[in-house]
Amino acid sequence: MASELESEVQAIDRSLLECSAEETAGKWLQATDLTREVYQHLAHYVPKIYCRGPNPAPQREDMLAQHVLLGPMEWYLCGEDPAFGFPKLEQANKPSHLCGRVFKVGEPTYSCRDCAVDPTCVLCMECFLGSIHREHRYRMTTSGGGGFCDCGDTEAWKEGPYCTKHELNISETEEEEDPLIHLTEDMIARTYNIFAIMFRYAVDILTWEKENELPPDLEVVGKSDTYYCMLFNDEVHTYEQVIYTLQKAVNCTQKEAIGFATTVDRDGRRSVRYGDFQYCEQAKSVIVRNTSRQTKPLKVQVMHSSIVAHQSFGLKLLTWLGSIIGYSDGLRRILCQVGLQEGPDGENSSLVDKLMLCDSKLWKGARSVYHQLFMSSLLMDLKYKKLFAIHFAKNYERLQSDYVTDDHDREFSIADLSVQIFTVPSLARMLITEENLMTTIIKTFMDHLKHRDVQGRFQFERYTALQAFKFRRVQSLILDLKYVLISKPTDWSDELRHKFLEGFDAFLELLKCMQGMDPITRQVGQHIEMEPEWEAAFTLQMKLTHVISMMQDWCALDEKVLIEAYKKCLAVLMQCHSGFTDGEQPITLTLCGHAVDTIRYCVSQEKVSIHLPVSRLLAGLHVLLSKSEVAYKFPELLPLSELSPPMLIEHPLRCLVLCAQVHAGMWRRNGFSLVNQIYYYHNVKCRREMFDKDIVMLQTGVSMMDPNHFLMIMLSRFELYQIFSTPDYGKRFSSENTNKDVVQQNNTLIEEMLYLIIMLVGERFSPGVGHVNATDEIKREIIHQLSIRPMAHSELVKALPEDENKETGMESVIEAVACFKKPGLTGRGLYELKPECTKDFNLYFYHFSRAEQSKAEEAQRKLKRQNREDTALPPPVLPPFCPLFASLVNILQSDVMLCIMGTILQWAVEHNGYAWSESMLQRVLHLIGMALQEEKQHLENVSEESVVTFTFTQKISKPGESPSNSPSILAMLETLQNAPYLEVHKDMIRWILKTFNAIKKIRESSSTSPVAEAEGTIMEESSKDKDKAERKRKAEIARLRREKIMAQMSEMQRHFIDENKELFQQTLELDASTSTVLDNSPMISDTPLIALGPEQTQITEQRQIVTCILCQEEQEVKVDNKAMVLAAFVQRSTVLSKNRNKFIQDPEKYNPLFMHPELSCGTHTGSCGHIMHAHCWQRYFDAVQAKEQRRQQRLRVHTSYDVENGEFLCPLCECLSNTVIPLLLPPRSISNRLDFSDQPNLVQWIKTISQQIKALQILRKEESTLSSENSESMIEPQFPEGFRPDFQPKNPYSESIKEMLTTFGTATYKVGLKVHPNEEDPRVPIMCWGSCAYTIQTIERILNDEEKPLFGHLPCRQDDCLKSLTRFAAAHWTAASFSVVQEHFCTLFASLVPNEKYGNLPSILDIDMFHLLVSLVLSFPTLQCQDFSGFSLTTGDLHIFHLVTMAHIIQILLTSCTEENGMDQENPTGEEELAVLALYKTLCHCAGSALKEIPSGWHLWRSVKAGIMPFLRCSALFFHYLNGVPAPSEIQVIGANQFEHLCSYLSLPSNLICLFQENSKIMNTLIESWCNNNEVKKYLEGGRQAISYARESNKLIDLPDDYSSLINQASNFSCPKSGGDKSRAPTLCLVCGTMLCSQSYCCQTELEGEDVGACTAHTYTCGSGVGIFLRVRECQVLFLAGKTKGCFYAPPYLDDYGETDQGLRRGNPLHLCKERFKKIQKLWQQHSITEEIGHAQEANQTLVGIDWQHL
């Protein structure tokens, strides 16, 4: 069937290919009805090309479509061969000065913070790099796809709109020329014809809704009826649900289902079945049934294949159109014209309209194709961009409503184009005036929020997930409003004013619906049953915050607009609060001889709301009146007489009282919803248009009132009036035993009220309220943040409010107030407050949370103590108020205020325990301080125009009047100064008294020259200057005017209210742990120290007594004692690998005996160095195991360690471990039975060993033949003298130690080979030696890379670990099978000394010599112990070492010196050089002519020395730990002659070549045999590669300095499995540099029976399970180990402020921090990645739950 179809298809293809495009086009040119002709062509061919089978065949389809369908169109359009036609067009075209590059997902984009008109203006990387903005403050983000580069758009940039490339394309003539002039008439006509037909065809077919029927023009007779079951994408169902459903419905494999689901997700639809109608319908019903349970079902349609075919071609056509118009601006213009031409149905019937209006019905793939076309056509043509904008605005309401009901993300909606249109200032302005866009947006928004309460305010239902989803969509309208407002007009036309104010009206309607929403009533008695809904209202407020601010900014720009807006806003506010005094009997309050009428209202008993946007907007506008001086210039235009101060302050005061009461604990029963609301009310995201404006509103109202009246109303709203109007309130407390809670509550309320007064008088840093500018405001915020503690840049940014452009304005002022301190290796850069700024510190700064306030207080006092100053924190000197607010200072000297102060001081003097609190007193002292500062300021700045009316000092000197006859405030302060219970406040009181006296002095000195006189003189003097006089006169007029207004305003006085706050605090402090580096101090000795051989320095190992960390008992390490063990972690490693493509394929068959020099897979052992009894550890481990088993059964939680795999955490340091190493004494000293003086030389020794091996072979053979019974010829083996192969040595170790030898050996074997544990396996000892060798090699590399000396610089945990590991490896043979080890030795030995019995051994090019050395030395005792001839073990060690060293030298000579041709060191001078030259000649002789020309001796010797160094260093470490000989002091430091010292320590001649000369006879034979090896020959003939020496250390890959180039690299990376798709989580392997498609279904693979993500899969080949990655989009380092372990780690990229940006949220330019990258590299080289993950997971349990294997 399949092949039948196949051949049919091929037959059709052939016939199709015979069509001629030229002929068809020719026919079309002749046609009378072109449309019909073309449609017939399409109707005939499209179904033949597209959708011929169950699966799309894009390549074939594209090829045929180009040939049969598009080809003719191109011919027609060009009127000639398009191969010539298009290049001609392109040449004639003037390239655009607009870049317009459409961004791919994940591509980096750049915005200039200095020059971009708004943050949506972005550049592509290429344009950015060629622009001036590179040098500016820029932000970098990754694009979510869609959107395009704004390079060349002069409206988008304040400066530098062109990059160097696009600058070349600016036309000299400024005016726009018609692009059509480059085209011929004919061409225009043809293009018009074909575009009109094709565009209409595409639109018609894409918006076609019937499933089974084609449009009549496209129907053909005799079509075959095949169908598709088409599955559509939605954002409701998960990937898993879709995959599961598909497997059931269409009976496919999981892989196929994943494929379907991926395509559906990407393109928006995919056919999942092909066949007859019934067959498809059946699949549809299964899918619908399966997905309709909880949610709405997946959308599925059964569609006729020819419809699908035409739709596929329709999309192809749109793409084609997009590329054709790229040839010429003229073609582009024609397409725009065709697209926007009104259709037959009148308005909104153009093709473009049709597409937009169908947007939400189209599938994702279709949408993005036509969006792209719009972007490359309509938005790239300046003329049509404007026309399109109008169409878009006309359809706005419809498009938004479609979007709100649609379930696709915004980036797939046409509504998202608003950002491209509305952010263009000229377009936005035009749409506001011509299409009334502002009003449209706001009205549309309101229409979507339908629920209102009886007063017409918004009411939000419970905030469900679905509602939140809908609500989020509605919010995009606010974003549109923001775009429209973001660029502010400089010129106002009347039309713009008119339309803006109309929009402002609509906006006020919106705010009106918010004023008073979500009202709350205090819950008494019981807790509320259900937390009321509050989030939606706050979300709305938060989203609107910038819009509200921008509305004010717009108003500020035009006086007329400001005045009108102010009037409108006031009118709406009055509507909101009409009749707030209705039905209430006013009450009269009296205090200190003042009386005021107010309403009866208690916050604690009636409804109160936090949402007061109308009041707050009015407050904002009022400040603008002051700032712009409109209030003084046009008072007659303002409705000032309508202002009722008591009404203005009432609601904000209630809101602030609510906060105070919440803080006093009166609203506890109202639950968290209220606490949260109060939190956000003060939060930096909201406060600018909430809390801050409430303070301003109070300031506004109070400035127009008698301060005494205000204070009384405030007392009443705080429900404190009774307390202060009752003279003996304080005394009553001590007598009556009043409820303590109530007292506490009242105290808090008093404190809060005082705090509010401090704020009302002290907060003058908004321009317009005080004489300050915006810079002063931001400086003050920063000063107060830094008063708490030094902060990082991002912390500061978070603490400061951002404007609509996401700017805080911090950078411009930070230098003035703070110093930057650079970060170290961890942590981040910090800003510290400059010392001279501390004088501006205000303890009662209104944006401090309570926690911040007390921290700041503590920090500032500490600072003062450090500077040996007194610890008073007096109020700072404040800037003067603007005239409109100037009367506020009078609060401080009002009678009621003095009464409040006096009362509280009185309580403090009487000092009864209840009625007052220290913080109450502290606030009163602060207020007194403020008043004194104020008075002093007034006196110092006394000018000709003013008489100082601020006489606080006089007032506080006066004693109270009868009847109370209380002492004066001053007198009470003097009393309190000596009160022992007020020690903390003494400094402050002293400061007050001092300031008081200072003021008195100023007053006294100034009273000698009366104020009036002074004024006169100055006036006269200044009149000399005419100019000055004129200015003076004007100022005078202004002053009079001002005074008039002030009088007018203060005329209207009435009523009331109050305030408070509540906040959260969190601190997290982490302390770093440090490890110490200990010296292993050497023994001082005169004789040179020698590590091995017969001349080895004799060391009496000191007794080693250790303490068990578990039972705390001490024990000596001895052979026959119970075992002591070190916690250890064994892991496979590829850190030293020189070939990452090589890994152990089949661990069961793998033979590890010889390590290849590529070191591709080693076994590393590490330890934290903590010691335990073996039995204590055993018990501990059993307990952990039992606990985990229970825990896993109970709640299937993961732990950071895998008990089943033998993992546990060190009981002391929680370091991840998976086995233990026994502690041992140097094993050689145990078996070194004899010490002979007469020892064999190398030649003799090799001979003897060879004989012994031969004897063993014979013996083995006999045994085997004996066992196979056929014993024919019993040849008596010739045993060398003293060799007793029957001798079996006694094991010296205790049972416990033996057990541990097996335990660790088995663990190494198990982990190293990833096999099941089997202690009998002959590979166990090999793995132990290998791990010893490998671990030493890694440590040698680290020391080398860090340029540290070989000895004396290892942390003691590594020192202990290496010592134990080496000694363990040396002792392990005693626990292994004797004959197995012996056999290993023989094989190893044969690799150097040939033995025909052991064929097929690797050549010397393919053996890592250090591994060979370690294995030989450690297996040698099995042979040696049977030798009773008197040879010493140490002699053997030395000969083995010499032999391997020589082999290594040959290895080096063979591989290293092939490249350079010597630096003309003509005559070899040194003996080494001569010797090595001679050796090289011998080698050449053996190797034949294959070796290269003979280099100089100097060069040879140099490369030998360099090449062998790592080996010698490793050997020194090895023998040091094996034999315990201390290292000579010379190699414990970096210095000259290291090589010579090493040689001496290792018992080597420093002229290494001497070794060959001494043993030339045997060596020549050996060299010859090595060179005769086939592999070596092959290498010499150039037939293969070999590792050369010294091997370079592996490093992590090089990273670019600029992070954005990584982002760019990643954006060009596409998923390797799903054909050209962009990867969602491109992730870079830092070990090998491979880019991976992480965290995605497409790239999951199966690993050991489980599906794993690309990263996990990669770690198995690249890092033996361990991986270090950089997640490029997130800028985050990822550590992985195995399938279940992982953690994130700080990336090595920092911004200019010394901070990382994980998640790339801030977008500051990031640069590589080399030190931090080195730190990561070191973790890797030290094999600490797994350990790091363990620690991270222990510290943060949520990391344990992540499915790391899916990354």
The footprint of Zn ion (CB under 5 A) covers 99, 101, 112, 114-115, 124, 127, 133, 136, 149, 151, 163, 166, 1108, 1110-1111, 1168, 1170, 1173, 1176, 1210, 1212-1213, 1215, 1615, 1617, 1629, 1631-1632, 1634, 1637, 1640, 1642-1643, 1662
Closest approach of Zn ion to the CB of residue 1679, in Å: 13
Between 117 and 972, name the residue whose CB sits nearer to Zn ion: 117
Q: How far is the CB of 1201 from Zn ion (least distance, A)?
A: 13
Of residues 136 and 1254, the one with the C-beta less far from Zn ion: 136
CB of 1177 to Zn ion, least distance (A): 8
Provide, rounded to whole angstroms, the least separation between the CB of residue 1624 and Zn ion: 8
Instruction: State the nearest-atom distance from the C-beta of 1343 to Zn ion, in Å.
Output: 23
* Least distance (Å) between residue 1292 CB and Zn ion: 23
- Closest CB 483 distance from Zn ion, rounded Å: 21
Of the pair 750, 1615, the CB lying nearest Zn ion is at 1615
Q: Could you tell me which of 485, 411, 420, 480 has the C-alpha nearest to residue 445? A: 480
Which residue in 1521, 1221, 1591 sits closest to 1350, CA to CA?
1521
**Is there a contact between 1277 and 1262 (Cβ–Cβ < 8 Å)?**
yes
Q: What secondary structure does DSSP assign to 662-685, as a single string?
A: HHTTTTGGGHHHHHHHHHHHHSTT
Structural contact between residues 272 and 229, judged by C-beta atoms closer than 8 angstroms: yes
Asked if omega into 1610 is within 30° of 0 (cis), the reply is: no
- CA–CA gap between residue 1020 and residue 723 (Å, rounded): 54
Q: Does residue 1164 contact residue 1131 with C-beta atoms inside 8 Å? A: yes
1047: DSSP letter: H
Residue 795 is encoded by which pair of tokens?
């912390």
Hey, what are 435's tokens?
Answer: 């299409």
Written as six digits, the tokens of 1459 are: 């490249």
CB of 831 to Zn ion, least distance (A): 24
- 218: helix, coil or strand? helix
Distance CA 305, CA 47 (A): 8
CB of 147 to Zn ion, least distance (A): 11
Cα gap 1507→1501, rounded to integer Å = 10
Distance in Å, CB of 1660 to Zn ion, minimum: 10
Of residues 255 and 669, the one with the C-beta less far from Zn ion: 255
Instruction: Output 536 or 1127, the one with its CB closest to Zn ion.
Output: 1127
Min dist CB 1629 to Zn ion, Å, is 3
Closest approach of Zn ion to the CB of residue 160, in Å: 6
Q: Least distance (Å) from Zn ion to the CB of residue 1647?
A: 15
Q: Report the 3 state secondary structure along 242-271.
A: HHHHHHHHCCCCHHHHHHHHHHHHHHCEEE
Measured from the CB atom, is 218 or 1631 closer to Zn ion?
1631
Minimum CB distance to Zn ion smaller for 1477 or for 1655: 1655
CB atoms within 10 A of CB 781: 23
CA separation, residue 509 to residues 445, 513, 613, 1141 (Å): 11, 6, 11, 69
Q: Please, which residue, 32 or 1073, has the CB nearer to Zn ion?
A: 1073
With a CB cutoff of 8 Å and minimum separation 6, the contacts of 970 are 956, 957, 996
Q: Helix (H, G, I), strand (E, B), or coil: what is residue 612?
A: coil
Concatenated DSSP letters for 1634-1677?
-EEE-S-GGG-EEETTEEE-HHHHHHHHHSTTEEEEEETTTTEE
CB of 329 or CB of 934, closer to Zn ion: 329
Task: Compare residues 1106 and 1213 and give the one whose CB is closer to Zn ion.
Answer: 1213
CB of 113 to Zn ion, least distance (A): 8
Compare residues 591 and 1643 and give the one whose CB is closer to Zn ion: 1643
Q: Coil, strand, or helix at residue 6? A: helix
Distance CA 1159, CA 1406 (A): 10
Give per-residue burial for 954-993: e unless 16+ CB within 10 Å, then b.
Answer: ebbeeebeeeeebbbbbbbbeebeeeeebeebbbbbebbe
Decide if 1052 contacts 1045 (C-beta within 8 A).
Answer: no
Nearer to Zn ion, 108 or 883 (CB): 108
CA separation for the pair 799, 814 (Å, rounded): 14
DSSP annotation of 905: H
Q: Which is nearer to Zn ion, 591 or 1654 (CB)?
A: 1654
100/1082 with CB nearer Zn ion = 100
Q: How far is the CB of 1180 from Zn ion (least distance, A)?
A: 9
Which one, 1174 or 1514, has the nearer CB to Zn ion? 1174
Nearer to Zn ion, 161 or 503 (CB): 161
Closest CA to 229 of 264, 265, 266: 264
Rounded Cα distance, 792 and 830, in Å: 4
Q: Which two tokens stand for residue 375?
A: 């972007």
- Pick 817 or 1128: Cβ nearer Zn ion: 1128
Helix (H, G, I), strand (E, B) or coil at 110: strand
- Count of positions (residues) in the chain: 1751
Task: Give the closest residue to 1202 by CA, choosing from 1736, 1751, 1730, 1740.
Answer: 1730
Q: What is the DSSP letter of 70?
A: I
Query: What is the rounded end-to-end Cα distance, in angstroms, of the chain?
Result: 41
Of 893 and 1638, the one with the shorter C-beta distance to Zn ion is: 1638
* Residue 1659: CB minimum distance to Zn ion, A: 8
Task: Tell me how far, at minimum, the Cβ of 554 lies from Zn ion, in Å.
Answer: 25
Q: Report how far residue 1034's alpha carbon sits from residue 1030's, in angstroms, rounded to the nearest whole number.
A: 6
Residue 1023 — left, alpha, or beta (φ > 0 → left; ψ -120 to 50 → alpha)?
A: alpha
In the complex, the smallest distance separating the C-beta of residue 1264 from Zn ion, rounded to whole angstroms, is 47
